[in-house]
Structure 1
């Protein structure tokens, strides 16, 4: 019953909460929290008017969230939402992404050109997370040789990236 009630009144509840919070996104969060509250109550016989009860929950949660936001602003002296918008975006630029993709392409091309044993050693170490000892056992060579194969292979990858 609670789910049917929520679905049929969700849009109106969001509009109602938006009138209190001033933000559609904030209103969506409030209505969702109200749904969780109502769902936890289940079919409580004490709730005689479930629609009115749901609206009351939305109102109380919306008012509480506004009060909490005002307390944060008073305590911090800053609008938290405004401060969040001022935080710089740390995602890489389009140029950095293209350069990184090109580097990856060059590394994979270089790996394909390496001798098979060296390529396997690098792939196991860098991509598989294997220890030198495990690689040495798999390739049936010494740990020192595995170390040398990996070091020389990675140097070849770096040279190729620096050349292009």
Structure 2
């Protein structure tokens, strides 16, 4: 085995870790694979003779590559170009690949949606420090900031991810509302008629914008029986849903491949859903604030 083969073998030992880092930063398996492959190209060009800490060097390089990719993605969005994070409900022909599904579920669909709302530097700093314990002096070199500034980036991202502004009194209500929303989601996934009726008020109203529903489905439905009938017809959405805070209230995101497609907001009273909205219009989604719910 020559030196290059040995280098490739050492790199392959770290590929899984690097893919996980890149996926959390980019939210796309294909983009993560591209970032990892670019890291190999740079390692092959550099060699490992002068590297005292190969895993640390590779993580740093992947971080820089991902930061550049995130900035390019942000620039495309701002100029109204192609957005490669647009989601659609997969069908039998375009189902989530198993490897991608495992990655999405390991991170959490809600987490990926929330991370996508951070600035590129915030996302890189948060992922590297809070998820992979990379020191701030190393992160500083990646984001071209001082260690103090890198720490502030991660702190600001953490506040946005966890919605630390929520009051302790609100947490009590949110915990109760979370049970209701989780029960609704579980019943929808399981096509559980009785479970749905148990969490829906008899006079529940479901609102939606045109982008949030398939063609031909009315924008408003009233009554538990009608809402249950519709929900049972749209159970595919529930497979890709996760609980999240939407504008400070308990809600759901539907995020195939971890990419935001729909948001649901709920009005809950006495342990039952009295009203909820399905939001799919991209402009409306862009103005929503998402955060992880308190545990």
- What TM-score results when the alignment is normalised by the length of structure 1? 0.46
The structure showing larger relative contact order (alpha-carbon pairs under 8 Å, at least 6 residues apart) is 2
Structure richer in helix, relative to its length: 1
Structure richer in strand, relative to its length: 2
